[in-house]
Structure 1
Amino acid sequence: MTTTQENLLDLSDFAWQRLRDRVAGLTDEEYFWEPFDGCWTVRKTDSGFAADWAWIPPEPAPFTTLAWRITHIVDILQEDRTATWLGHQPADDDGQPPVPASAAEAVTALQHAYDVWRRRLAAFSQDDLDRPMGEIAGPWADHDGTAFVLHILDELIHHGAEVGSVRDFYRGLRAEDPFAPALAGDVTPADRPALLAEAAAAQRWEVIPRLADLGFGLNERTPNGVTAAHLAAGTGSLDTLRFLVEHGADLSLTDPRFNADVLGWATWFKQSEAAQYLTARTHSGSGV
């Protein structure tokens, strides 16, 4: 039976990995993008960068940029209270939450802030989680440590979801075919080795044979660790699955989420035709 702390750590790690995946490839242009007038963001000052803020914010609340949202998440996770409110002290190397001045700095700051938060969470005892926080927590003095941890996780989850939504919004307004440069010969397998897997993730089945002809690897993985064959099998895209098999895709590779091979994905996602095809090839010794 898992403990309360183990459940909280599992939820925290799940939310973090989702956010970490969603900030991959973030650019400075996107980080500072202001889609509307009156956005809150982070701005250059005489001493660095600072986030827009007010004791009494405008109503309705301003739209906040990715720079503002990520800075806010960093602050929530890394601030001293995620240790002191549960009776612990920040470590010497925890540092204070920065205001990142670029997308690269933001991703680095997010990773450090999460490392700090996770280390603190892992150090809390059951007594820390059960005990009312007391005077240090001000209006929340009667709330126990678990309630506070859940509040921090709620902040991580809902602001992380906002980051993903803003990235989707930004991408949608600048929609371009991500595979066109490769098909035109401007992007090579050395530049984007996992592009064929990315095409499968986007369910752009029609470009997969063309990418394969250009030398993009059949067994490369998406950032989530799955191959094109996993995705073809799991979605029941039988023509693509046949193409991948016939061109030598490795069907024994397993993914990190289910630890399942390609047949396992077809079975898990109830793609009976794909599963029958893969099983038949196994029985016939055709190289699965």
Structure 2
Amino acid sequence: MTTPPRLRPLLDQFDFACERLLGRLRGPVMDSGDGADTRVEPLTDEEYLWEPVPDCWSVRPRAAGPGPRATFLAGAGDWGRDAAAYPHPWPPPVTTIAWRLSHLTEMLVLRADHTTGSRSATREEHPVSGDAAGAVEAFASGTAAWRAVLLGADDVALDAVGYCAYPYGSDAEEPFRDIVWWVNQEVLHHGAEIALLRDLHRAVRPA
């Protein structure tokens, strides 16, 4: 299928953001943004779970229970992500790389399922990774799933309200083109946050 011209810039932006973030997490080199390659070490488990300030939200062993101001651990498996029912704590907790990666991956996987998949995936069933390598590869799989959805979208789909039926947002009430834009900004802003946390970790915990 030919990508609609108005989708192409959004698809290119998504590809660029995901490539930059995965390069930053996997190493051994990443695009510095000016065409030069910069060496970067793969994300470690210690970085993945690093809490830069007290009372962060993170991912935790389910047996340990939720962290400060969280009321439950979201997701499935031996690990869960700190969460709380609405209304959420204010001011929002600072979140770890682990929390942010888990959030992004869940969003991508569930939105893909609720667009062209079974439309049955839930947060409660979505696995949470307790280690950095597993989380990075889960994110890569999520980006591939969402990209496949985009490649299958035509102009009719872009204008269709409810083309994505993701149940944890306003997707069922929005044209799909707006959902595509929203996913991009989620990857862009959380990706930037993750990059900053890597920089801060390196600065305060030198090798």
Counterpart of 2:117 in structure 1 is 89
Decide which structure has greater strand share: 2
Structure 2 counterpart of 1:165, which letter?
A: L
| Secondary structure, counterpart of 2:128 in structure 1 | coil
Q: What is the root-mean-square deviation in Å for CA atoms of aligned residues?
A: 2.4
Match of 1:116 among 107, 121, 145: 145
Counterpart of 1:247 in structure 2 is none
Q: Tell me if 1:31 matches 2:33.
A: no
Structure 1 counterpart of 2:182, which letter?
A: H
Please identify, of 67-76 and 97-106, the stretch whose mean Cα deviation from structure 2 is larger: 97-106
Structure 1 counterpart of 2:20, which letter?
A: R
1:73-128 CA-partner distances (Å, limit 9, x unpaired): 1011111x3353x5x3259xxxx642111011111111111111111111111110
Counterpart of 1:3 in structure 2 is 5
Deviation at 1:131, TM superposition (A): 1.8
Counterpart of 2:39 in structure 1 is none
1:38-80 CA-partner distances (Å, limit 9, x unpaired): 110001014500000012221111110111011011011111x
Ranked by relative contact order (alpha carbons within 8 Å, sequence separation 6 or more), the top structure is 2
Structure 1 counterpart of 2:145, which letter?
A: V
Q: Measured at CA, do residues 83 and 130 of structure 1 come closer, stay the same or move farther in structure 2, by a change above 3 Å?
A: farther
- Runs of 4+ more than 4 Å apart: 134-142
Q: Measured at CA, do residues 53 and 5 of structure 1 come closer, stay the same or move farther in structure 2, by a change above 3 Å?
A: same
CA distance in structure 1 between the partners assigned to 2:157 and 2:164 by the alignment: 15
Provide structure 1 residue ranges, at least 5 long, that are not aligned to the other structure: 177-288
Q: Measured at CA, do residues 141 and 111 of structure 1 come closer, stay the same or move farther in structure 2, by a change above 3 Å?
A: closer
Structure 1 counterpart of 2:46, which letter?
A: E
Please identify, of 167-176 and 135-144, the stretch whose mean Cα deviation from structure 2 is larger: 135-144
CA distance in structure 1 between the partners assigned to 2:60 and 2:126 by the alignment: 16
Q: Measured at CA, do residues 142 and 100 of structure 1 come closer, stay the same or move farther in structure 2, by a change above 3 Å?
A: closer
When the two structures are superposed, what TM-score results if normalisation uses the length of structure 2?
A: 0.74
Counterpart of 1:148 in structure 2 is 179
Structure 1 counterpart of 2:15, which letter?
A: D
Provide structure 2 residue ranges, at least 5 long, that are not aligned to the other structure: 27-41, 64-76, 120-124
Contact 2:61 2:78 in 1 (8 A): yes
Which protein shows a greater Rg? 1
Contact 1:132 1:142 in 2 (8 A): yes
Q: Measured at CA, do residues 49 and 117 of structure 1 come closer, stay the same or move farther in structure 2, by a change above 3 Å?
A: same
When the two structures are superposed, what TM-score results if normalisation uses the length of structure 1?
A: 0.54
Structure 1 counterpart of 2:131, which letter?
A: S
CA distance in structure 2 between the partners assigned to 1:118 and 1:90 by the alignment: 17
Contact 2:161 2:175 in 1 (8 A): yes
Match of 1:68 among 83, 91, 99: 99
Q: Measured at CA, do residues 68 and 142 of structure 1 come closer, stay the same or move farther in structure 2, by a change above 3 Å?
A: closer
* Percent identical residues: 36
Counterpart of 2:82 in structure 1 is 52
Counterpart of 1:14 in structure 2 is 16
Q: Measured at CA, do residues 107 and 141 of structure 1 come closer, stay the same or move farther in structure 2, by a change above 3 Å?
A: closer
1:202-242 CA-partner distances (Å, limit 9, x unpaired): xxxxxxxxxxxxxxxxxxxxxxxxxxxxxxxxxxxxxxxxx
| Secondary structure, counterpart of 1:60 in structure 2 | coil
1:113-160 CA-partner distances (Å, limit 9, x unpaired): 111111111111111001222794675544211001101111111111
